[in-house]
């Protein structure tokens, strides 16, 4: 009888050990970082995600402008109505940068439910910078100040074109979403959903 008791005690010890090991080795939910830390890391990653696009446009300015696009026609009209007998051509080069204004990203842009997170991206930021080293002004009677005004109008026209280009906007959004999704998954979230607005009552 004592021998049987010792066997039972050993078996109970083995079972208890196995249960203890199972408890220690059980899968645990990842410890997710606080929202403020997540937002800061998202800003850092997204700052690198800017879509750069090279642009160029040929502009001929004369007393009878023939440009068809409204904003580019305004560039040509400026020369026609500002100068005496304006003439010349410009080949304008520029770089457009499309990214998101992530300084406007805050805790109210995220909603966390367990390991699922909803994200509202801030508005797209569009910046256009001319490339003066490649821009050409040909056979022009504009002085330097007038040329600078013409080029600024061209820059604004480029910016308008980019803001109206839904294809470029989507490319920028896709790039930012890929980078942010990769970051959030490495932080322990298992599902990342990008939305236009958070579900009612879930902001923060």
Instruction: Tell me what pLDDT residue 23 has.
Output: 41
**CA–CA dist 141, 147 (Å, integer):** 9
Please determine, for residue 79, whether its predicted confidence score (pLDDT) is greater than 50.
yes
CA 93 to each of CA 54, 66, 72, 136: distance values in angstroms, whole numbers, following the listed order: 8, 20, 14, 9
The residue ranking higher by pLDDT, 123 or 13, is: 123
- C-alpha distances out from residue 150 to 86, 111, 132, 146, Å: 12, 47, 13, 6
Return the pLDDT at 73.
66
Contact 31, 169 (CB under 8 A): no
Of the listed ranges 38-42, 146-150, 187-191, the one predicted with least confidence: 38-42
Given 3-state DSSP classes, what are the helix, strand and coil percentages for the chain, each rounded to the nearest 5?
A: 50, 25, 30
- Record the tokens describing residue 109, joined without a space: 């842009």
Higher per-residue pLDDT: 161 or 76: 161
Going by pLDDT thresholds of 50, 70 and 90, the confidence category of residue 83 is low
3-state secondary structure of 164: helix
> Tell me, what's the pLDDT at 71?
58
Asked whether 115 and 33 are in contact (CB, 8 A), the reply is: no
| pLDDT reading at 94 higher than 90 | yes
pLDDT in tens, 95-113: 999 988 777 878 888 898 8
Q: What is the pLDDT of residue 15?
A: 44
Total-model pTM: 0.65
Provide the pLDDT for residue 37.
78
Q: Are 138 and 91 in contact (CB under 8 A)?
A: yes
Section 27-48 average pLDDT: 68
Q: Mean pLDDT, to the nearest integer, of 156-170?
A: 91
The partner residues of 30 in beta bridges, in order of sequence, read: none
């Amino acid at each position: 009888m004592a021998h049987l008791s010792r066997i039972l005690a050993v078996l109970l010890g083995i079972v208890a050990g196995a249960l203890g090991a199972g408890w220690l080795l059980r899968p645990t939910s990842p410890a997710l970082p606080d929202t403020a830390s997540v937002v800061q890391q998202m800003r850092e990653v997204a700052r690198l995600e800017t879509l750069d696009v090279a642009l160029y446009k040929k502009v001929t300015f004369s007393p009878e402008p023939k440009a068809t696009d409204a904003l580019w026609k305004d560039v040509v009209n400026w020369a026609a109505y500002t100068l005496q007998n304006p003439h010349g051509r410009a080949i304008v080069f520029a770089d457009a940068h499309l990214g998101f204004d992530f300084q406007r990203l805050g805790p109210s842009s995220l909603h966390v439910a367990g390991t699922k997170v909803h994200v509202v991206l801030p508005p797209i930021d569009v910046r256009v910078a001319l490339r003066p080293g490649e821009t050409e002004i040909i056979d022009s009677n504009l002085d330097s100040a007038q040329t600078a005004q013409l080029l600024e109008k061209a820059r604004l026209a480029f910016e308008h074109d980019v803001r109206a280009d839904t294809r470029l906007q989507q490319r920028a959004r896709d790039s930012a979403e890929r980078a942010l999704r990769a970051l959030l998954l490495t932080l322990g979230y298992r599902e990342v959903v990008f939305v236009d607005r958070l579900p009612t009552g879930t902001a923060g």
